[in-house]
Structure 1
């Protein structure tokens, strides 16, 4: 299994600060919803008063018309409460959807801004879990849990205040619930956050293992690693089971203890209120009203406690989503402008794992408009060097510059105008062919798109599409071959028009004859531009101005094809082997 580095998770202070910022951005929505919740809770408080008075009037003797009047008032307050609650929830959900949309946009922006090296080190599983289950959990919390919890808190506060308005003595029975509530909440909250974070992290690990197994299925099958991968999945599931078992234990201890604490105030109010009534210190209406208010407290307090579990899950998901923004940038923009398009690497060293360099002090000067081929055995460091020359990774030591300005000193938008990387990995997005190509330069005309496709010899099959540039491709659309998808990726690059191209085996999925034809067409279009081609097919090297032979993280040889063949070194051996002369 590959070694992965998890993306950071923000702390509770940052989560609270974000919630505060959300409230500050939407004060009108927030206070409107809160005001409606308060009014709805106030209307609910009328019923115990009316029923308390009704009980006492029945004891003292009353009329049918008086009872009818009380019932009408009860019905009126009930209807009013229903209307206010409906609009309060509506406003809360509108705010929730708005906040959730903003959070998603921020998360997407932060994810797209992640350094590529960090994404690769973290693996796909962590990001997939955050974009999937964490977003879903937070959506549930924002749409349902938070509005319901707000209603419960407002109702509990106002109901408790109404109960105290009956008389000071109601406070004493309510005190009976405080010790088990406080102890239970402190015990639960001290353990819940870490428990739920561990639970969601276990989901990420399961997703990582499964995605790695699926993506590398051919390798797994070829090397007979199926049993090992199943064992890894079983281990991940076992850890997830233990994490869920722990959070379930928290709930099975916490919630039953809370249920007991709810009953104590009701029993205490009846007993204490009845004792005071026998002494003539309170009326029957006051005992009845107080008991009903304390009984009313059970529902909002129970919802506060129950929904707290959902909010813990939501807070854990929010912490993971906000954590993406805490990844440090791998570039420090200096504001300097390159004086030319000359690309240089000076004593460049780089490591994926601390203490284990894969590049060992590489020096390379690339002339403006020059075509350089990088060849060498697999694992020698060609692709890594190419990524550094494209500004994907910053070097550990040394510098990679364009016009004497470090690539990591340039904003990404400016960097891609100077140098761009195209690899054998490519993606066709769901949308029209036109939309796929103009990703490199939004707003480009159809003529520019066709010119870019023509530059990579793609017009022959594009013109056969049923709707031409308007044909929908990608998942669910018209299927394109691997070679066609690669041509689309290259057409984007032509349209982006960078001065320097780093091609990392960009034509590896096209058959050799088509690949050579494509490379020649691309070379013609990019005449006068700098091209660094990383390839295992040596005809690319033959066509290049100079060839860099990379071995064990060093440039072992560097010169023209003819000079290197004449030198009789590593490149000459590779060339002879390529032509079957070795």
Structure 2
């Protein structure tokens, strides 16, 4: 099954969000930066006019060169000072906006439904959090300020050019049709091209991550050639996507260079003709030529940064698109009355038309320990996820509460849900930080409470102040599992779903830990999905799942006496031996 790419925001959403960031959140800072840039641009416009007057004065022989040179120097110094503070103001606004975009993206990612994240795979999300964020950072830091600044300079320079003389200003328009046509051609293709490029990079990243993460499985099953072919296909797709955007740039940039040369040549030629016929002074022609030459720099910068803006816009669309993922729950204000967990006629499918659970009915009594057993692929873990409220059934309901006070798990606010039902699997992430930091993710607690939780899981790792995780002291898979269970004890939910939560411990240690947990978690309902049947022997009831259905439900002794599937599992797993006390 191929991974589902997370959605991408529409151009309308991107533009609206950009306007909101610039005009509504930071209007004063933005206007202040633009005002400084306008003053800097105005100071830079004085020199061409003075030079034009200087040329005219030299022709007439009545010019004071020292005074003109001093004035030009003064305005250039003023422009340099204003530019320095203008760029500082722009950088401050840009960094503020970038920080807000990053925080919003993290909030959107953390709000994603877990089921959708798993279907999308790691590649798309990792590429958005890394490459797309980097691309957007470059756009916010460079492209946006440069475009704003250059736009101000273009407007003021063209205004000065028109004031110099409307007739000598007209030749600068000769390059506009060529630029207009070229940019329309480019912009229609650039944004979709960059989106394809980023999606291809996400697929490549995901394939490489899967191969590295499952390296042992790849080696054990002889899948190296298949993974290499997958990697080659992903690289080829990424190459084609990047080559397409490169071709766009190789077309647009030469056209832009030609369009820049035409206005200067036209202004000199036509301005010269106007001067010959007495329709423009030499000062006007000189100033107009200098203004045209001066405006080329900002126009060139705008067009160059437009390419980065397209890349940044595509990155922003992908980052905002994470927020377009439909929510898998509709939290309301209802609060359940009671702690009974129940599943009614539950169906679930990972693919349309292919249910993996078929009409499951299950009641979990408060304080009961229920073991869920069955062959691999029977649907045990899927059932556990539904009972923990991670996924919503396709058909049927999973509720918590008694009678009329029962509430669907998907209707509970997430904080309320996690305070009532918690899921622990065999896959655990150790965050960078101290052991204490990792424990207190569950809830604030004193050192005494944290140490008591560690003792309850027979913790044999480092102390609370030891830094673990990436760059810290490594923890074994078993220790990571113990840490997750200790965190669960601190969270203190009334119902726990343990999906092979002790599978990484050796059987003897797992048995000891389960007994310790049983004492600590006394009075809480526990759903234990297990492959070690001593867990089922110790449970109050056992549910046997096969082919997505609960085919047997009862105590260990009742199911053994019934001689059905559970009895066969027990016999094959345990033989004629009785479980050790």
Q: TM over 0.5: same fold?
A: yes
1:402-459 residue CA offsets vs partner (Å, 9 max, x unmatched):
0111000001100011110000010111111111100000x3111111111111111x
In 1, Cα distance between equivalents of 2:70 and 2:573: 97
Match 1:480 to one of 475, 478, 483:
475
Match of 1:372 in 2: 370
Match of 2:315 in 1: 317
Tell me the TM-score normalized by structure 2: 0.97
Deviation of 1:264 after TM superposition, in Å, equals 1.3
Deviation of 1:298 after TM superposition, in Å, equals 0.9
Pair 1:425 & 2:427 matched: yes
Number of aligned residues = 572
In 1, Cα distance between equivalents of 2:297 and 2:139: 19
Match of 2:37 in 1: 37
Pair 1:543 & 2:538 matched: yes
Match of 1:578 in 2: 573
Dislocated runs of 4+, deviation >6 Å: none
Pair 1:239 & 2:240 matched: no
In 1, Cα distance between equivalents of 2:547 and 2:427: 24
Match 2:521 to one of 515, 519, 526:
526
Preserved contact between residue 168 and residue 280 of structure 2 (Cα < 8 Å): no
1:106-505 aligned at under 5 Å gives the runs 106-403=104-401, 404-441=406-443, 443-458=444-459, 461-462=460-461, 465=462, 468-505=463-500
In 1, Cα distance between equivalents of 2:363 and 2:505: 30
- Secondary structure of the 1:440 match is coil
Moved more, 471-480 or 404-413: 471-480
Match of 2:58 in 1: 58
Pair 1:3 & 2:5 matched: no
Structure 1: stretches of 5+ with no match in the other structure: none
Deviation of 1:174 after TM superposition, in Å, equals 2.1
Deviation of 1:172 after TM superposition, in Å, equals 2.3
In 2, Cα distance between equivalents of 1:273 and 1:581: 107
Q: C-alpha root-mean-square deviation of aligned residues, in Å?
A: 1.1
Deviation of 1:580 after TM superposition, in Å, equals 3.5
Preserved contact between residue 344 and residue 362 of structure 2 (Cα < 8 Å): yes
In 1, Cα distance between equivalents of 2:470 and 2:271: 70
Pair 1:96 & 2:94 matched: yes
Deviation of 1:202 after TM superposition, in Å, equals 0.7
Preserved contact between residue 36 and residue 82 of structure 2 (Cα < 8 Å): yes
- Secondary structure of the 1:176 match is helix
1:256-289 residue CA offsets vs partner (Å, 9 max, x unmatched):
1111111111111111111111111211101100
In 2, Cα distance between equivalents of 1:255 and 1:170: 27
Pair 1:27 & 2:22 matched: no
Deviation of 1:477 after TM superposition, in Å, equals 0.9
In 1, Cα distance between equivalents of 2:354 and 2:424: 26
Deviation of 1:171 after TM superposition, in Å, equals 3.6
In 1, Cα distance between equivalents of 2:366 and 2:133: 47
Pair 1:76 & 2:71 matched: no
Match 1:105 to one of 103, 106, 127:
103
1:170-207 residue CA offsets vs partner (Å, 9 max, x unmatched):
34212211110110011001100000000011110000
Structure 2: stretches of 5+ with no match in the other structure: none
Preserved contact between residue 371 and residue 527 of structure 2 (Cα < 8 Å): yes
